[in-house]
């Protein structure tokens, strides 16, 4: 009986010790342990100004102006899903006298920021989401003046360069 107890205890201890090999201690590097270049970059990045949320409001209003002038394609990323379909729909299906109004920005938040060194200083890329209440107004030949309201979620990407 003792041999079975010792054998099972030995198996438990050996299994626990082999499981410990998968873990590693990764210490947090302190400024004293950094090299001069790493410490300099940390200081440069920490001194960057905070992202101004007014950039989001301005971008939303500029997108609305671009929608009304047919220049929305300049604002859309090349990676935008169905980019060409959206632009052709705006050109072919939306009435020419249609105007978009921004009724309000219900919410905005920064979802991610990346800071990278570039050849001209520091590049900060910020991705923000804005929930915008919009209204499209146009005159329909058969139904008269029409208003269509919608809540639109815009994903905005900002790139800022600092020297």
Of 134, 138, 137, the C-alpha closest to 150 is 134
- From CA 88, how far away is CA 140, in angstroms rounded? 20
> So what's the pLDDT on residue 122?
83
Mean pLDDT, rounded, of the chain: 83
> So what's the pLDDT on residue 7?
52
Rounded to whole angstroms, what are the CA distances from 160 to 16, 31, 52? 50, 26, 11
- Calculate what percentage of the chain has a pLDDT beyond 70: 84
Second-level CATH architecture of 33-162:
Roll (3.10)
Please state the rounded mean pLDDT for residues 154-158.
94
**10 Å Cβ neighbour count for 103?**
12
pLDDT tens digit string along 85-137? 988 888 888 888 889 999 999 999 999 998 888 887 888 899 999 999 999 99
Would the pTM count as exceeding 0.85? no
> So what's the pLDDT on residue 119?
81
pLDDT tens digit string along 17-33? 555 556 777 778 777 77
**10 Å Cβ neighbour count for 53?**
14
């Amino acid at each position: 009986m003792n041999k079975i107890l010792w054998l099972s205890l030995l198996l438990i201890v050996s299994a626990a010790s082999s499981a410990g090999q998968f873990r590693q201690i990764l210490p947090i590097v302190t400024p004293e342990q950094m090299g001069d270049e790493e410490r300099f970059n940390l200081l440069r990045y920490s001194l960057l100004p905070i992202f101004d949320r007014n950039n989001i409001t301005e971008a939303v209003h500029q997108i609305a102006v671009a929608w009304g002038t047919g220049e929305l394609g300049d604002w859309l990323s090349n990676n935008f899903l169905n980019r060409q379909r959206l632009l052709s729909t705006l050109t072919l299906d939306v009435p020419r006298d249609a105007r978009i109004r921004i009724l309000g920005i219900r919410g905005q938040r920064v979802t991610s920021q990346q800071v990278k060194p570039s050849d001209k200083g520091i590049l900060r890329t910020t991705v923000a989401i804005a929930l915008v209440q919009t209204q499209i107004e146009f005159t329909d030949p058969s139904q008269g003046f029409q208003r269509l309201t919608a809540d639109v979620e815009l994903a905005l990407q900002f790139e800022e360069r600092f020297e």
